[in-house]
Structure 1
Amino acid sequence: MASRIENEVERIVEELIAGSPLELVAVDYVRERDWYLRVFIDKEGGIEIDDCQELSGRLEEILDAEDLIKTSYILEVSSPGLDRELKKPKDFQREQGKMVDVSLFAPLDGAKVITGELKGYDGENVTVDEQVIPMEKVAKVNLHIDF
């Protein structure tokens, strides 16, 4: 159910932002204590609160009219944050050359998290520094933040 809703919301958001500088990063429909529909957007130079509010209002109207989600939920539209997760091929292309944290399902060469420069991605493997890591071993890839 969640993936069907995520796919449908993704389609709606892509239509809403077509021709704008906004980019859809991800849609998550998850149950925590309540159901949350989270839409993450970005744009060159960063997202402003007005971007989130405008998209949230337009999306809410459509979701209410189409009655896509039958249960009550909380809609959140926001930036993916500084440590954004890389999910789509275009994410990996855009962030090439930047530092990333690759979290693994199980340790690889003794490490469960590998941090390094994103050198490449071909859909099956991600290359960090000189290490080629099969995507089947990767839980997630996030931009690295130095504090």
Structure 2
Amino acid sequence: MSQDVIKVTEQLVMPILQDLNAELVDVVFEKEGKNWFLRVFIDKENGIDIEECGIVSEKLSEKLDEEDPVDSPYFLDVSSPGAERPLKKKEDFEKYVGEYVYMKLYEPVEGEKEFEGTLRSFHDEVAEIEIRIKTRRKTLEVPFNKIAKARLAVTFN
């Protein structure tokens, strides 16, 4: 059910986002306590503001009411992905080369399944990430299909 809700939501929100020159970052349909939340994360080149989130929320809510893909009560939340924006698509990795990222893998690369570091490059479906081990720097090559979860990470130097 939740995959269907996500798919329908993605289809409904895309034309709305095109009108605002915004992009869809992620759609999450999850239960917290006894309530269901449909969260839509959007962004654009110079950031998305609260007014634009409100416009998308209003228009998407109308479309969702028409399509009615959710068979239980839920809360719709349209917002910016924030500082720790998820990296989902290959284009996200290409766009954020040079940024500090967090990655969690399906299977280990050089004995590690989770790490933070600087995304040095992304080409041929391989992310090259420079991590720090105490005082040493090490570069790892991570195939895109091994990445379970990735996001921008906040670092305090």
- Using structure 1 for the length normalisation, give the TM-score: 0.88
Q: Could you tell me how far apart the structure 1 residues matched to 2:123 and 2:71 are? A: 38
Matching of residue 133 in structure 1 with residue 142 in structure 2: yes
1:145 is matched with which residue: 140, 151, 154? 154
Matching of residue 120 in structure 1 with residue 122 in structure 2: yes
Q: Specify the alignment match of 2:45 in structure 1.
A: 44
- The CA deviation at 1:6 is 0.6
AA partner of residue 90 (structure 1): E
Deviations 1:86-135 (A, max 9, x none): 00111111111211111234554444422222111544x32213311234
Q: Could you tell me how far apart the structure 2 residues matched to 1:139 and 1:28 are? A: 15
Q: Could you tell me how far apart the structure 2 residues matched to 1:62 and 1:19 are? A: 15
For the residue of structure 2 that corresponds to 1:82, the secondary structure is coil
Contact 2:36 2:75 in 1 (8 A): yes
Q: Could you tell me how far apart the structure 1 residues matched to 2:17 and 2:84 are? A: 23
- The CA deviation at 1:37 is 0.4
Q: Percent same amino acid among aligned pairs?
A: 38
Q: Specify the alignment match of 1:65 in structure 2.
A: 66
Contact 2:54 2:78 in 1 (8 A): yes
- Using structure 2 for the length normalisation, give the TM-score: 0.83
Say which is worse superposed, 63-72 or 36-45, in terms of deviation: 63-72
When the two structures are aligned, how many residues end up with a matched partner?
146
Listed as ranges, the matches of 1:91-130 within 5 Å are 91-105=92-106, 107-118=108-119, 119-123=121-125, 125-129=126-130, 130=139
- The CA deviation at 1:137 is 3.7
Which consecutive residues of structure 1, in runs of 5 or more, have no partner in the other structure?
A: none
Q: Could you tell me how far apart the structure 1 residues matched to 2:25 and 2:79 are? A: 10
Q: Could you tell me how far apart the structure 1 residues matched to 2:84 and 2:109 are? A: 22
For the residue of structure 2 that corresponds to 1:27, the secondary structure is strand
Superposition RMSD in Å: 1.8
Which consecutive residues of structure 2, in runs of 5 or more, have no partner in the other structure?
A: 131-138
Q: Could you tell me how far apart the structure 2 residues matched to 1:41 and 1:83 are? A: 13
